[in-house]
Amino acid sequence: MFKKILIANRGEIALRILRACRDLRIPAVVAYSDVDHDSLPVRLADEAVCIGPAPAARSYNNIPAVISAALVTGCDAIHPGYGFLAENAYLAEICQQVGLTFIGPPPDVIEKMGNKAEARKVMKAAGVPLLPGTQGIVPTLTHARQAAREIGYPVVIKAVAGGGGRGMRVATNDAELTRGYPVAQSEAESAFGNGDVYMERYLQRPRHVEVQVIGDQHGNVVAIGERDCSLQRRHQKVVEEAPAPHLSDKVRQNLLKTAEKGARAANYWSAGTLEFLLDTDGHFYFMEMNTRIQVEHPITEEVTSLDLVAWQIRVAAGERLTIHPEQLKPRGHSIECRITAEDAANEFRPSVGTVETYVAPGGPGVRMDSHLFSGYSIPPNYDSLLGKVITWGSTREQAVARMERALRETVLTGVTHTIPFHREILADAAFQRGEVHTGFIPELMSRLGTRLKDAAEEDAMPQRLPIGR
């Protein structure tokens, strides 16, 4: 096992990794930027080391700074968390060269899955179902028109270096394709430094269902379980749940077996996720693979009792997976609400400031993964995630009821946040029936109209705040 781990991340995930290190009795060093000096993970860590100023390019994304921080503090492994350098093949490569272990898959696997057209090829060869689409990249508009004829409209143009929906362009006819193709290319070039694009048939209102996998360095790969992540706004997940509602046992078993086969074909080890689109007939299609621990991993932990971050560390150290099939039958249901510092009533404008009062929810079936504390000042330099409210119930209904309870009892003042928005989602009749799809949030937003403003005001009313003032 590792002697000491460098946590090259911040916020709730730095804290989550630190907790896994504690459970494994591994000392941990938190690498932080200037503005995170007083953060909770830094305060709780065994050691902390500053890696640069606030801009991520000069700290959390600065490979030489991260490598040096690990070496000078005597670490033998780096956990990158999610975001920042988590899917950076160069970091994984340099780690190998200087004798550090990158807690993630090998660089060649990161690179292959990072190219979405290459990932499609690997999955196709393995017999994983894909939407009709191009074999590789689409080099010219002429090729794009030809491909659209073969695929059939509507089509979507995606960046090979993209992922998560950034730089996506939908075309429903030749005219839209002609206009959209160069835009997709130049957006891909400026966003990812790689203008290569590929094409797929576009599916209307699909569900986003992803499969958590984990593999060791001895050839064992298991699909742990699926998550429904259909509730997204501008490609940002808002609510996730496990298991996926209204999925037949047959489709679920097939999905998990298929994901396992895909991960094996990619020579995968470590924790990873295969994303699929699910249509209304229960057909699923591979979209992309993420080679990191994901934000929403806790809901899979809640229904399996596995510690995915601890397993990710253990397999990186060379341990064998010893997960029994019995542990893979999901027990009950889990939901996660991502609380962000945004104003849902005003186009989700980012909100910054200092947390005045924070009281975390608790009680049976409630887990709060957050780095907040009363008096914490939120730096404006990074993403707006404040924490994740995660509930577990023996049924979906119980997990929903517990989420409503947890959201009601959370006290968070001083910054505008999305708890009122989450309460509207939870109160929605279609959501309560488990009728989720990727059009849900946009449709809810238009139904809500000005209701969000009222909900935000109500939330701020002092008589609802038992603590503070």
Residues that bind ligand MV4 (CB under 6 A): 131, 156, 164-165, 200-203, 206, 208, 230, 232, 235, 277, 287, 438
Least distance to ligand MV4 from the beta carbon of 439, Å?
A: 8
Listed residue (204, 185, 96) closest to 144, CA to CA: 185
User: Residue 380 in contact with residue 350, Cβ under 8 Å?
Assistant: yes
What are the distances in angstroms from CA 342 to CA 23, 214, 346, 378, 417? Answer: 33, 33, 9, 12, 5
Report yes or no: 277 and 287 within 8 Å, Cβ to Cβ.
Answer: yes
Measured at CB, which residue is nearest to ligand MV4?
165
To ligand MV4, the closest distance from the beta carbon of 227 in angstroms equals 12
Smallest distance, Å, CB 32 to ligand MV4? Answer: 29
Contact 160, 285 (CB under 8 A): no
- Give me the amino acid identity at 427: A
Q: CB-based contacts of 283: which residues, under 8 Å, 6+ apart?
A: 129
Distance of CA 70 to the CA centre of its chain: 25
> Smallest gap, in angstroms, from Cβ of residue 282 to ligand MV4?
16
Q: Is 349 a catalytic residue?
A: no
The number of beta carbons lying within 10 Å of the beta carbon of residue 255 is: 23
- How far apart are alpha carbons 198 and 240 in whole angstroms? 28
Q: How far is the CB of 285 from ligand MV4 (least distance, A)?
A: 7
Q: How many residues does the chain have?
A: 469
Nearer to ligand MV4, 9 or 230 (CB): 230
Closer by beta carbon to ligand MV4, 27 or else 434: 434
CB neighbour list of residue 168: distance below 8 Å, 6 or more residues apart: 156, 157, 158, 159, 162, 184
Residue 48 or 436: which CB sits closer to ligand MV4? 436
Find, among 9, 93, 107, 26, the residue nearest to 310 by Cα: 26
Q: Please, is 158 exposed, middle or buried when counting C-beta atoms within 10 Å of its C-beta (0-12, 13-18, 19+)?
A: buried
Smallest distance, ligand MV4 to C-beta of residue 86, A: 17
Rounded least distance, CB 148 to ligand MV4, Å:
13
Nearer CB in complex with ligand MV4: 42/131: 131
- Catalytic annotation, pick one of 10, 292, 338, 396: 292
C-beta closer to ligand MV4: residue 27 or 165: 165
Q: Are 360 and 368 in contact (CB under 8 A)?
A: yes
Question: From the CB of 160, what's the least distance to ligand MV4, in Å?
Answer: 13
With respect to ligand MV4, which residue has the nearer C-beta, 53 or 165?
Answer: 165
The phi-psi region of residue 106 (left if phi > 0; otherwise alpha if psi is between -120 and 50; otherwise beta) is beta
Active-site residue numbers?
Answer: 292
